Amino acid sequence: VDLDVTLPGEGGKDRPFKVSIKFVSLVSWHLLHEVLTGRSMPEPLELDKPISTNPVHAVDVVLRHLPSMKYTPVGRSFFSAPEGYDHPLGGGREVWFGFHQSVRPAMWKMMLNIDVSATAFYKAQPVIQFMCEVLDIHNIDEQPRPLTDSHRVKFTKEIKGLKVEVTHCGTMRRKYRVCNVTRRPASHQTFPLQLENGQTVERTVAQYFREKYSLQLKYPHLPCLQVGQEQKHTYLPLEVCNIVAGQRCIKKLTDNQTSTMIKATARSAPDRQEEISRLNRTVATPSHGVWDMRGKQFHTGVEIKMWAIACFATQRQSEVKRVGDTLLGMATQCVQVKNVVKTSPQTLSNLCLKINVKLGGINNILVPHQRLVTVVGSMDAHPSRYCATVRVQRPRQEVIQDLASMVRELLIQFYKSTRYKPTRIIFYRDGVSEGQFRQVLYYELLAIREACISLEKDYQPGITYIVVQKRHHTRLFCADRNERVGRSGNIPAGTTVDTDITHPYEFDFYLCSHAGIQGTSRPSHYHVLWDDNCFTADEFQLLTYQLCHTYVRCTRSVSIPAPAYYAHLVAFRARYHLVDKEHDSAECSHVSGQSNGRDPQALATAVQIHHDTLRTMYFA
């Protein structure tokens, strides 16, 4: 079926779309029921089989339809604008709370995984106010001068790509996407205007709004937003634009914003359990003659059509006058009294950034992100000592490209250390999503076998391949309140779940190996994708839990096995090794004008560890 659909687009113009609906295949509910009840096993799925034929995916799509119509979807989560609470992060950003939803097959049944979720969104507010938050301007009326270059660059970085809606066209709120911020203020920014007689004249933005809309700009000294396509020269004054609601912040949060985010979202285990339970509660239940209406609706609401607020706070605020630009002709940097009295490393860092730029320095440059892959392996029988190997590969490649060579290096190091060849290889793999299990297992299992055979033709140790997942939305709570541990009321360390909520036929389990200190403990999810060593579930769960006690940096059990943790540490250390090479490569790229002037061989050499250091746990 082919359909023509018209949807409202940016700039008030409708956009036509052609939608094609094609029959792919029938989704077999009978097969799903047979698998869930254990009456049959599914046929092996080919790597290229379309996910649309997966009945679990079909159920997930159906159950996500209604929430996606009511809330703002982000991945597998849904968020709604704050009502009755306010968690500003600064810089025009705020915390939105919502819930994560996913359908998962479990033993004998399908389960709906629900968890509370939070992320950063941009506040729906006037662009003028957004700019003030970004630039730490307390009163725009006391800023009569144009923005400095550093302020304009900072503001551009934050607002570029965001959607804004205009307020000067009455009820018609056209939406535009910001592509740039002008260097010149609205009083000087010109554009070609075609008159009714066909003549083209130059008009400033301020003149155009005064003549076209009888609108005298209040802040003509501020720059304009350039919206739509950059070559069309569409300019909007800041004061006629609002930030459109529901825009998720995908840019990295500052340290202060991250700290505020953690404080706003941290929940003890009982509080998180209660919050999840409240997602299904629509009635205010009285308790001891009292009930709470927060988050509830009145049975019959009434619209308040007229309202007023009386504000008795002072409107005046003293501010340091800057005269360097116009009278002295020299670079200046002002510091507010409050930042002198109570300073912080972040404040000092921000001052240095500003001063450096004003004196002609370069604070940072953009370089393409290289993906580091690391493999660590035990070097003794305990195991307590580990050796590491590192490679640089292109981004967005989930399969470890040079795994055979990396495993071969570690096997040689193990033999040098113990004079024995390992009879079992237990491979904990991090950073793989469920949709990539089959592909990654297929290629990496072959790579490990290839590494073994390259050392000795008949060397075939048993291989156990396990994926470790931390980024999921499953939380475990104590059924018995007396078993709660610590101030956060979490489950005890060592809690293991391998029934009910696990996969109906695959070998997976949840293990919470650490004692939660803040918020709700997140158990690790383990998927045993291959096991030549025929471990029982109890044996493997115990081994995994014990490995969580061998992490050398602390005297506590950690959330994932030590070798998986060490792989993260090695990757972090390797980033330091790449700093100079990446800077040099980026400089060469800038000079040559090429988009990718990096030398892969130089980067590979940069992460190679000295042979003396290789024998030590340098990353610990």
118 pLDDT exceeds 60? yes
Model pLDDT, residue 223: 93
One domain for residues 410 and 558: yes
DSSP 8-state assignment for residue 458: T
Q: Which domain holds residue 436?
A: 371-570
Are the C-beta atoms of residues 547 and 524 closer than 8 Å to each other? no
- Compute the Cα dihedral for 125, 127, 133, 136 and give only its sign: negative
What crossing angle do the helices spanning 403-418 and 437-455 adopt, rounded to 10°? 50
> What pLDDT is stored for residue 292 in this prediction?
57
Mean pLDDT of 75-104: 87
Checking if the pLDDT of 320 tops 70, the result is no
Per-residue pLDDT of 531-590, as tens digits, reads: 999 899 999 999 999 999 988 888 888 999 999 999 988 888 888 777 654 444 444 433
79 and 133, same domain (yes or no) = no
Q: Which residue has the higher pLDDT, 53 or 162?
A: 162
Tokens 């475990």 sit at which residue?
A: 476
Q: Enter the DSSP assignment of 248.
A: B
pLDDT at 450: 93
pLDDT in tens, 256-282: 999 888 888 888 878 887 777 766 655
Domain shared by 59 and 161, yes or no = no
Residues 453 and 561 in one domain: yes
What's the one-letter identity of residue 427? F
CB distance 37 to 108 below 8 Å? yes
Is 20 inside any structural domain? yes
Domain boundary among 213, 243, 273: 243
Report how far apart the first and last C-alpha atoms of the chain are (Å, whole number): 60
Question: Domain tally for the chain?
Answer: 3
Instruction: Please name the amino acid found at residue 104.
Output: R
pTM of the model: 0.55
| CATH number, residue 497 | 3.30.420.10
Higher pLDDT, 523 or 40: 523
Q: Output the pLDDT for position 42.
A: 61
Residue 161 lies in a domain: yes
In this structure, what CATH number is given to the domain that contains residue 201?
Answer: 2.170.260.10
443 with 558, same domain?
yes
Instruction: Please indicate, yes or no, whether residues 144 and 66 belong to a single structural domain of this protein.
Output: no
Regarding whether 18 and 98 lie in a shared domain, the answer is yes
Number of Cβ atoms within 10 Å of the Cβ of 488: 20
Residues 398 and 432 placed together within one structural domain of the fold: yes
**Domain termination site, one of 122, 138, 171:** 122
What DSSP state is assigned to residue 319? -
Q: What is the pLDDT of residues 467-517, one digit of tens each?
A: 999 888 888 888 888 888 877 888 888 899 988 888 887 889 999 988 877
Q: How confident is the model at residue 357 (pLDDT cuts 50, 70, 90)?
A: low
For the ranges 30-44, 182-196, 263-277, the lowest mean pLDDT is seen at 30-44
Let me know if residue 508 belongs to a domain: yes
Comparing C-alpha atoms, which of 450, 425, 436, 617 is closest to residue 530?
Answer: 425
Picking from 525, 555, 570, the residue at the C-terminal end of a domain is 570
- Pairing state of beta strands 200-204 and 223-227? unpaired
Beta bridge partners of 16: 6
Query: Is 309 part of any domain?
Result: no
The crossing angle, in degrees rounded to 10, of helices 55-70 and 29-36 is 110
- Is residue 337 assigned to a domain? no
Within 10 angstroms of residue 131's Cβ, the number of other Cβ atoms is 25
- Establish if 363 belongs to a structural domain: no
Q: Could you say which DSSP state residue 118 is in?
A: E
505 located within any domain = yes
